[in-house]
Amino acid sequence: MEQLTADEIFDVLSHRQRRHVLSTLLDSDDEITVSELAEMTSSKSDGDASRIEVGLHHSHLPRLEGMGIVEYDRDAETVEPTAAVADLEPFFELAGER
């Protein structure tokens, strides 16, 4: 996998919901279902888990997969972080979100 550019990193971190998803995935080394991810993310954002899940399926996970940050299996509805997630951790620390 190629390293993300600074523009790509700031773009992916520009959306609050993606930051919550990535923060959750930083705490998980294993595969997680989209439903579990939505539930865990909703607790960080005080959002509705079912609405978050729709956004994950239709927007955020395909985008993160396209950037090589996650492996998203649409059929099994699972998400697995790649090594690129760990590369984003310093940016969370700088932003004071970890």
- pTM for the full model? 0.87
**Domain containing residue 82: CATH number:** 1.10.10.10
Residue type, 34: V
Domain that holds residue 83: 6-95
* Gyration radius of the chain over CA positions: 12
- Domain presence at residue 56: yes
* pLDDT single digits (tens) 34-57: 999 999 988 877 789 999 999 999
Q: Which pLDDT score, from 0 to 100, does residue 36 have?
A: 95
**Better-predicted residue by pLDDT, 98 or 17:** 17
- Domain presence at residue 1: no
**Number of domains, the chain:** 1
For 83, half-sphere exposure in the C-beta direction (CA atoms, 13 angstrom radius) is 3
